[in-house]
Structure 1
């Protein structure tokens, strides 16, 4: 009974618990014990310190005493190896990570060291740890930076990055702690799923993931699919269709919805397209209709109407390069689904890049779900605490800053129109610049950053621009962003993970800049997420530095027009400047941002509803693949299905017969999964139509997707037996290519910038069903 009451009590506390309210008192109570160990550990030699750390490996369980020892050893090792004595708040962060939480630590509070100490702590428990970063540069930088610390603690560390060979990757994953970008770790998972010999695997079973910038990886990029593709041919875009669509005009030939996610032809637009293409009826079903080209028209219209150059993508070095919306950077190795990618390339009159047959894919969320233990760190976790709890069962621990934050955050300044707002921003920059304070201006996209730079140039205000076009210069630009009199205009590139030091990289002018008030941050509009606002503000006021931040906004900003366009009557500018001081305007901006966050959350939920079934099916088939890869199952099945042919194979190739059977069966398994993925994609894209008169889309998706999956393993065995039966066996074995066992001659990996499960699907269905019911009644 007592146990039941305890469980009920815990559940009630969990229900009533506010996001980000993990109790820190347990960890704070351990800090005196950590400090007490310092004098003892200082007397040890490096070798003795390593020996003491090794004794932790003998512990069968990790409790408070072990947490104290990890933190004490980590603090002393960091002091010796890095010249840094970990603050108490960094040790609190370490304990939070070691107990499986997402820790929120403010900018400049030392998340990298806290993460390294936690990774070492997990390693000393005998667990393999992957420290998951947002890009390859950070993976290498942090691994090399923290290596002396790991060496003192007797923990092996490595990292993976794109140029590394398979052997180098295997060695890196063989270390106790491995750093890697989330995409690179995911791509290695996909590559391992295609090997035909167990010794070719580079990864081992996942155990612990510590995720840097956890809100970005676990929430913003959770639904991004990582893809492994095999060569097919060049993608095809209908050039004639692209030329026709290029001439269409918004409002006359096509319309878009308020949030810019859908576009459709008007009657006039359909007529123009039909005449230009010489077809009778674009939507007809007859042989001479244009239905065969309707898909090409729709995808070309999407590229033309909904994707904007210098906002959604750049054209650089003759290629279309996507821009990561939450970071403002070029999204390396990222592309849209092949049809849309080719349509954008046709729109920009560029040659189409190769398309590939998708061999396998995995979403970032599914990738992280593979780890039995996940922890994370970021500067903005509380805002997504509910999502972290819902999707990952993770709680947030808010770590207090080492030094109180004295940054002054001004109330938003709101204007009637973007033009009024832009003039006010230029005036603000001029006024602050005259004091000599450094200024960082955060813009929404590349186009806006360049427009603002032009306005500042006309006002004789010199600035440095940082955006996806000149990302190679990022380090140098950020290093000088805190110098006296510097004005830096940036996209979200400067909003996350950057450390702007007052007085410049060497801090030579720090005192003067500090006395003037530190870095002044200006946001040119509120972002679709309050976390991005917070990240930008967080560039100022680092570790107790002075600073200030203010956001400018307009009731005609994209955020408002897309998410809360119905502005209440009576909100008017107070004077000729166009500035609005009415509290209702502030409420409208905040409401628009909450709607945008809600839409993102619903899309995330919708995506995961569909993806969970796919991931379950993938996991089941991977168990079977692993058995085929590591055992003699393939040979057993072939012997049962084609005994005479199998005996002939054994006679001619001897011990190599088992590997031949394995190669055949793995080929058919991988091919069957690729075909099943393509089938699921088709189902996914048409499920809203199939479900109109029946159940909900997700139920219909499950009903359609499950029966074909159950047929995969029997089909694999049948096809494998047929291949062996029909193959010509020689002393050298089987000519796989002649037998149809042909794997792609080249493979590549990329991320798909895709939102296949738009929440509009189900809302549209509800409206259609409602209309149908009214007609029937």
Structure 2
């Protein structure tokens, strides 16, 4: 009876504390059996250990017996190779991953090893495993770090990063376990979709993905499309328009809405612009061709801020990833907006690309039959993981209890009063010798705070998008006695902050002082990001503390819950607010922001699901063209005389490849055209809402018939190219018949357009103009 009551109490506590998580009792029941086998496995030689692991390859699928075997062999391999004995909670994480869950393990609890043991387990089942990371540095670091463990278990491992050649990438993917950043793996998928010879393919068919920092990859970046583009020409911004817009003033010439997503000209602003551009009518026939340029220049001028949304570095505009506060090296806005920001900052315009193909991160992960993940903050996005990926969360308890002290938020009436309080907090804690990590919202704020601290003799190390290359080294020393580290967003995810610094030599001294103190300069748009920042402190039972400072005039509140209740009073001297209503308002603003993000995610996926289905169908056809003689048979049947003429001169094998290249070229071109068509449809689909029609239904109604034209179009165009092809001494001149691929290709991520559709922007401007003229 006591045992039953204990189990019931445990389940009730799990339900209250961790809603949405799966029950771990079954896995916990396997731990004693793992412990009993430990002494037996310790007696094995390295060769015998590898041979015992090899026996698992004979099993069709894993039951409890195989789970136990993987864990006991993995624990021993880690002990020998890394001098690290996996904790029971790490083995729980391994079992959670092997059974297809997203495991939540707190910072410093050993996710990297748990993930490696799970990857090895899948590999021993005969499955190819991709361990998907958030950046190239972590991919290589973790692959090299865990390689000795894999070797003892008889599993091969590799990694991919941007510096590798095609042959090196192919070799990495041939390993049983391959580590790679989500973008790099996605770009390889896109490159493979454009090859014209089977031997040029790099990736094998996907089987298992283990996603590190799963919340970041599966949720924060789920909507971000990875793009393959081909060179067209230089993007051209309207410099004259950019110079005119640069002189406009907020409130007089243009206005913006409260959430900073839209900007529009006032009557006075429209008049100034029209006069400066030669007396045109922006909303009439004479100015319609300039209106789009004015809109995009105004967005660049009014809504995008240097050192917040982007940096200018090495004479280039570089976007900042808002969920990490890091430079998004391969990320850009849609070409018109990108060119407008480059004109605003007076830097050279980048190449304009024709999109050849694209894939969202969510669609990329949907390719894998088995997906599992690990992160420190999964429960907060359990609903999204279940809705979009059919994944459940397993919350792994810490190896040692978390004793970090999380202080209540300190709330102030204004940002300036909040900043003074933050300076005081840093000074007082720094005087004790405790290390401090300050999490800021953006680059500009981090540098502003660093300057203020320097003026009062409080030196700090700044980690932001300007020096993200040194991220791991900087964050590893954030636990040093007396250190003050100011960082944007989630610095150094994947790198532990050890008390006493990277070598931990001062650990006891720092621990006695209270450990790492974390300060948040504002609440983030997601409670999950708050939790990630707090989680930098209190690693593996270390002492530590965390506190967030907030203001009722922070961007989070102004954008999501600006109507602050009356009767909230601040201290006259400090500006601090202790009224519980202020805390409720900030929490409400955060929930609104989370709801908006979720709805955007849902809406994006509603549209992209059809695109992904169409892409899947077309790729099956492309694969037949690539791997079989379908292209040759199709063209031979349609133009038998021409085919036989070429076959006599070229031979069967060469002609078959030429037919393949012709049809693949037209398939890729028509798919690119189809993507452009779908983009245009989606941007104007809101017109349908005005006609009381459902935009999504209309999108499907227009998209499906167009898609059905692609395969007949491929055959028709290919036949024309085949008939027009000229036979020269060097073979068939495909270029003469229009079969010319892009002179160069490149990959990048498209930053989600932070604004509404062009139609909505124009409609809003016209409405405002008409309202003002009426007034």
> When the two structures are superposed, what TM-score results if normalisation uses the length of structure 1?
0.94
Give a deviation string over 1:210-244, Cα, whole Å, max 9, x none. 00000000000000000000111110000000001
Q: How does 1:178-257 map to 2 (within 5 A)?
A: 178-257=178-257
1:730 shift after superposition: 3.7
Give a deviation string over 1:679-700, Cα, whole Å, max 9, x none. 1111111111244214111111
User: SS in structure 1 opposite 2:735?
Assistant: coil
What residue in structure 2 maps to residue 123 of structure 1?
Answer: 123
Work out which of the residue numbers 476, 481, 486 in structure 1 matches 2:483. 486
Cα distance in 2, alignment partners of residues 669 and 279 from structure 1: 46
Work out which of the residue numbers 306, 317, 332 in structure 2 matches 1:320. 317
Cα distance in 2, alignment partners of residues 688 and 551 from structure 1: 40
Change (3 A) 1:580 1:759: farther
Is it true that 1:72 corresponds to 2:72 in the alignment?
Answer: yes
Give a deviation string over 1:751-775, Cα, whole Å, max 9, x none. 0002379599999999x9xxxxxxx
1:493 shift after superposition: 4.2
Change (3 A) 1:764 1:16: farther
Change (3 A) 1:760 1:88: farther
Cα distance in 2, alignment partners of residues 20 and 498 from structure 1: 28
User: SS in structure 1 opposite 2:358?
Assistant: strand
Cα distance in 1, alignment partners of residues 762 and 574 from structure 2: 42
Using the TM superposition, name which of 704-713 and 478-487 deviates more. 478-487
1:497 shift after superposition: 2.7
1:480 shift after superposition: 2.2
What residue in structure 1 maps to residue 6 of structure 2?
Answer: none
Give a deviation string over 1:170-228, Cα, whole Å, max 9, x none. 11111111100000000000000000011110011111000000000000000000000
What residue in structure 1 maps to residue 773 of structure 2?
Answer: none
Contact persistence 1:442–1:495 (CA under 8 A): no
Give a deviation string over 1:503-549, Cα, whole Å, max 9, x none. 11111211111111011111000011111111111111000100000
Cα distance in 2, alignment partners of residues 222 and 706 from structure 1: 24
What residue in structure 1 maps to residue 10 of structure 2?
Answer: none
Q: How does 1:22-33 map to 2 (within 5 A)?
A: 22-33=22-33
Cα distance in 2, alignment partners of residues 520 and 349 from structure 1: 42
Contact persistence 1:159–1:178 (CA under 8 A): yes
1:494 shift after superposition: 2.0
Q: How does 1:291-310 map to 2 (within 5 A)?
A: 291-310=288-307
Give the ranges of 4+ consecutive aligned residues of structure 1 lying more than 6 Å apart after TM superposition. 15-18, 759-766
Cα distance in 2, alignment partners of residues 468 and 737 from structure 1: 44
User: SS in structure 2 opposite 1:351?
Assistant: coil
Give a deviation string over 1:19-61, Cα, whole Å, max 9, x none. 4320100000000111111111111111111110010010122
Contact persistence 2:684–2:757 (CA under 8 A): no
User: SS in structure 1 opposite 2:326?
Assistant: coil
1:251 shift after superposition: 1.2
Cα distance in 1, alignment partners of residues 731 and 48 from structure 2: 57
What residue in structure 2 maps to residue 743 of structure 1?
Answer: 741
What residue in structure 1 maps to residue 626 of structure 2?
Answer: 629
Cα distance in 2, alignment partners of residues 523 and 37 from structure 1: 46
Cα distance in 2, alignment partners of residues 712 and 385 from structure 1: 39
Contact persistence 1:688–1:765 (CA under 8 A): no
Cα distance in 1, alignment partners of residues 621 and 294 from structure 2: 42
Give a deviation string over 1:281-331, Cα, whole Å, max 9, x none. 1011x3xx1000111111111111111000000001111111111111111
User: SS in structure 2 opposite 1:228?
Assistant: strand
Cα distance in 2, alignment partners of residues 17 and 429 from structure 1: 32
What residue in structure 1 maps to residue 451 of structure 2?
Answer: 454
What residue in structure 2 maps to residue 677 of structure 1?
Answer: 675
Is it true that 1:370 corresponds to 2:361 in the alignment?
Answer: no
Cα distance in 2, alignment partners of residues 51 and 447 from structure 1: 56
Cα distance in 2, alignment partners of residues 465 and 172 from structure 1: 35
Contact persistence 1:530–1:593 (CA under 8 A): yes
Give a deviation string over 1:389-424, Cα, whole Å, max 9, x none. 000000000000001000000000000000110000
What residue in structure 1 maps to residue 598 of structure 2?
Answer: 601
User: SS in structure 2 opposite 1:738?
Assistant: helix
Cα distance in 2, alignment partners of residues 727 and 410 from structure 1: 74
What residue in structure 1 maps to residue 148 of structure 2?
Answer: 148
Give a deviation string over 1:441-499, Cα, whole Å, max 9, x none. 11101100111111112222121211111223323322321111111111114263331
What residue in structure 1 maps to residue 171 of structure 2?
Answer: 171
Cα distance in 2, alignment partners of residues 104 and 20 from structure 1: 12
What residue in structure 1 maps to residue 330 of structure 2?
Answer: 333
1:17 shift after superposition: 13
Cα distance in 2, alignment partners of residues 267 and 323 from structure 1: 34
Cα distance in 1, alignment partners of residues 729 and 651 from structure 2: 10
Change (3 A) 1:227 1:309: same
User: SS in structure 2 opposite 1:460?
Assistant: coil
Using the TM superposition, name which of 536-545 and 732-741 deviates more. 732-741
Work out which of the residue numbers 494, 501, 504 in structure 2 matches 1:504. 501
Give a deviation string over 1:594-634, Cα, whole Å, max 9, x none. 10111100110111111111111111110100000011111
Contact persistence 1:19–1:382 (CA under 8 A): yes
1:587 shift after superposition: 0.3
Alignment root-mean-square deviation, CA: 2.0
What residue in structure 2 maps to residue 611 of structure 1?
Answer: 608
Q: How does 1:583-594 map to 2 (within 5 A)?
A: 583-594=580-591
Aligned residues: 751
Using the TM superposition, name which of 117-126 and 453-462 deviates more. 453-462
What residue in structure 2 maps to residue 686 of structure 1?
Answer: 684
Change (3 A) 1:68 1:758: farther
Change (3 A) 1:18 1:762: farther
Cα distance in 1, alignment partners of residues 101 and 454 from structure 2: 47
Change (3 A) 1:121 1:144: same
User: SS in structure 2 opposite 1:323?
Assistant: strand
Contact persistence 1:529–1:593 (CA under 8 A): yes
Cα distance in 2, alignment partners of residues 639 and 470 from structure 1: 59
Q: How does 1:80-119 map to 2 (within 5 A)?
A: 80-119=80-119
What residue in structure 2 maps to residue 3 of structure 1?
Answer: none
Cα distance in 2, alignment partners of residues 581 and 694 from structure 1: 48
Cα distance in 2, alignment partners of residues 21 and 470 from structure 1: 37
What residue in structure 2 maps to residue 646 of structure 1?
Answer: 643
Cα distance in 1, alignment partners of residues 393 and 586 from structure 2: 27
> When the two structures are superposed, what TM-score results if normalisation uses the length of structure 2?
0.95
Cα distance in 1, alignment partners of residues 392 and 451 from structure 2: 45
Cα distance in 2, alignment partners of residues 302 and 265 from structure 1: 11
Contact persistence 1:649–1:733 (CA under 8 A): no
Contact persistence 1:495–1:532 (CA under 8 A): no
Change (3 A) 1:765 1:304: closer
Using the TM superposition, name which of 679-688 and 91-100 deviates more. 679-688
User: SS in structure 2 opposite 1:327?
Assistant: coil
Change (3 A) 1:264 1:757: closer
Work out which of the residue numbers 702, 712, 715 in structure 2 matches 1:717. 715
Is it true that 1:522 corresponds to 2:519 in the alignment?
Answer: yes
Contact persistence 2:490–2:533 (CA under 8 A): no
Contact persistence 2:262–2:755 (CA under 8 A): no
User: SS in structure 2 opposite 1:148?
Assistant: helix
What residue in structure 1 maps to residue 769 of structure 2?
Answer: none
Is it true that 1:700 corresponds to 2:734 in the alignment?
Answer: no
Contact persistence 2:490–2:532 (CA under 8 A): no
Using the TM superposition, name which of 459-468 and 745-754 deviates more. 459-468
Cα distance in 1, alignment partners of residues 727 and 332 from structure 2: 43
What residue in structure 2 maps to residue 657 of structure 1?
Answer: 655
1:733 shift after superposition: 2.6
Give a deviation string over 1:145-175, Cα, whole Å, max 9, x none. 1111111111111111001011111111111
Cα distance in 2, alignment partners of residues 16 and 540 from structure 1: 24
- Structure 2 residues without counterparts, runs of 5 or longer: 1-14, 767-775
What residue in structure 2 maps to residue 771 of structure 1?
Answer: none
Work out which of the residue numbers 753, 756, 774 in structure 2 matches 1:755. 753
Cα distance in 2, alignment partners of residues 608 and 311 from structure 1: 28
What residue in structure 2 maps to residue 355 of structure 1?
Answer: 352
